[in-house]
Amino acid sequence: MPVPAAAVFERLKTFAAVDSTQDRENRAITEVFTGRTLGAVPVGTAADVETAVARARVAQAEWAARTPKERAEVLERYRALVVENRDYLMDVVQAETGKARWAAQEEIMGLMFAARYFARVAPKLLASHSVEGAFPLLNRAAVRAVPKGVVGVIAPWNYPMLLSVGDSIPALLAGNAVVVKPDSQTPYSSLANAELFARAGLPRDLFAVVTGPGTVVGTAITDSCDYLMFTGSSATGRTLAQQCGSRLIGFSAELGGKNPMIVTSGANLDKAAKAAVRACFSNAGQLCISIERMYVERSVAQEFTQKFVAAVQAAKLGASYDFSQDIGSLISEAQLETVTKHVADAVSKGAKILVGGNARPDLGPLFFEPTVLSDVTDAMECGRGETFGPLVSIYPVDSVDEAVTRANDTEYGLNASVWAGSKAEGERIAERLHAGTVNIDEGYAPAWGTTGAPMGGMGISGVGRRHGPDGLLKFTERQTVVVTRFLNLDAPGFLPQDKWQPLLMTLARGIRFLPGR
């Protein structure tokens, strides 16, 4: 498929929640593969956020009055539109990010999974349920799930569709409005879904995309929303957590990772080596749950390394709007500079390049070869720091115990991959790892795609969880409603306090409170 026409991006621009009557500065958005301009979007302001939030609050009141089943019906229509328009959506994602087609497809699948799962479970999870009252005969107690109000979503550039809209789906199903700040490099991914939401019957003001810089738009959203969902770096996550804390609003975040893979002596090395290419180099390594460290038992380290290097060499690097390429481009000069710097620093301090190590301007302005290093130490920038690019290091280890110890020797704790001689051994190793998700005999996709289970990080890799019941209920407040009937807690006029209090305790806790018991 070709890159969408300029008219498409001009149409998507109209779905930005930015005042079009004002004379606005516009930011050009480029096609990553070539550097040519795709179109331009308006640069939003704090005033635009204020307006979007005010309109969202009005729309949210009506939306929250609908039943969860009625809200789910809208999201099911949206899911059908995603399926129908999947090729177009992948084109938009690829144009903005430069990722390979199959990595763009991961985003579309993620949207489909999220919409299907949350639409199915929302009516039950959001339903009021009864609990035993303090005084069972006198009280009828129920717990309700009440929407937060306006949820702010600050989304990253690496998976700009999935990590903006995928988090908005459960927030909307919970009865909230959503105001999104997409990354300034990738606004069209959110805007394309705003259009599909509108076609599905979602009120326009209920999902507002405010384009603009994080320092302005992101700050304004954080200052005005009722709950914030963020995906990005651990450093920015700390800052946003402090801002949310000062306002005493809820905050959830998926942050950075320095994710390990463990390969034991009994693993199927052919399968592990082939799958590791995906695990390490999806979206050119610009993925918070991708693998950057590989710990391989020494008895098979040489054989595994040879197989892995061969698999990396066989991977196709290039620009294409079809499935002919395995690995795409980096997204920006900043990412290219970081990867180049990390490789140069490691080599200068004694690391060896086993494959890759070079920028590829012949393929496009921001391509860098998938790179595998050995002899990496903690003194090197890529040793403990997150590269967030097509760079992975291999470490031979003497035992599984050493592999686990080294895998856990990090502030991060997002994802891990285990390849062992049996599923049972893999599960035993997984139980020892400090990571929010662990994939056995795969890299990251099965755990991410298991939408019914929570996904998130430990340590500085995140706060809270997306997916699973937690991924929906975090966007609600739990309200307890207790009805007192027959008698309240005052003593009836015909009964003195010394008789009433033991009786009251009996009603509350059982016959053990009766005198003499």
**What is the CA angle 120-122-127, rounded to 5?**
130
Q: By the 8 A CB rule, do 415 and 289 touch?
A: yes
The amino acid sitting at 67 is T
DSSP string, 98-165: ---HHHHHHHHHHHHHHHHHHHHHHHHHTS-EEE--SSTTTEEEEEEEEE-SEEEEE--SSSTTHHHH
- Residues annotated as part of the active site: 254, 288
DSSP secondary structure of 421-445 = SSHHHHHHHHTT---SEEEESSSSH
- Between the two ends of the chain, the Cα-to-Cα distance in Å is 80
- Nearest 5°: phi and psi at 500? -70, -40
Cβ proximity of 353 and 343 under 8 Å: yes
Within 260-354, where are the H helices? Answer: 269-281, 298-314, 333-348
DSSP states of 178-216? EEEE--TT-HHHHHHHHHHHHHHT--GGGEEE--S-III
Rounded (10°) angle between helices 68-84 and 162-173: 150
**Pair 357, 372: CB distance under 8 Å:** no
Given a contact cutoff of 8 angstroms between Cβ atoms, the answer to whether 206 and 172 are in contact is yes
CA distance 211 to 196: 18
How far is the C-alpha of 514 from the C-alpha of 505, rounded, in Å?
8
CA gap 61, 57 in Å, rounded: 6
| Residue with the two structure tokens 């903690």 | 378
**Amino acid identity for residue 156 in this structure:** P
| Cα 22–chain centre separation | 34
Q: Which residues contact 314 (CB under 8 A, 6 or more apart)?
A: none
Secondary structure of residue 313 in the 3-state scheme: helix
Stretch (H or E) spanning 416: strand 415-419
Cβ atoms 79, 116 nearer than 8 A: yes
Residue 16: CB partners within 8 Å, gap ≥ 6?
41, 42, 44, 187, 191, 209, 210, 211
* Residue 454 contacts residue 468 (beta carbons within 8 Å): yes
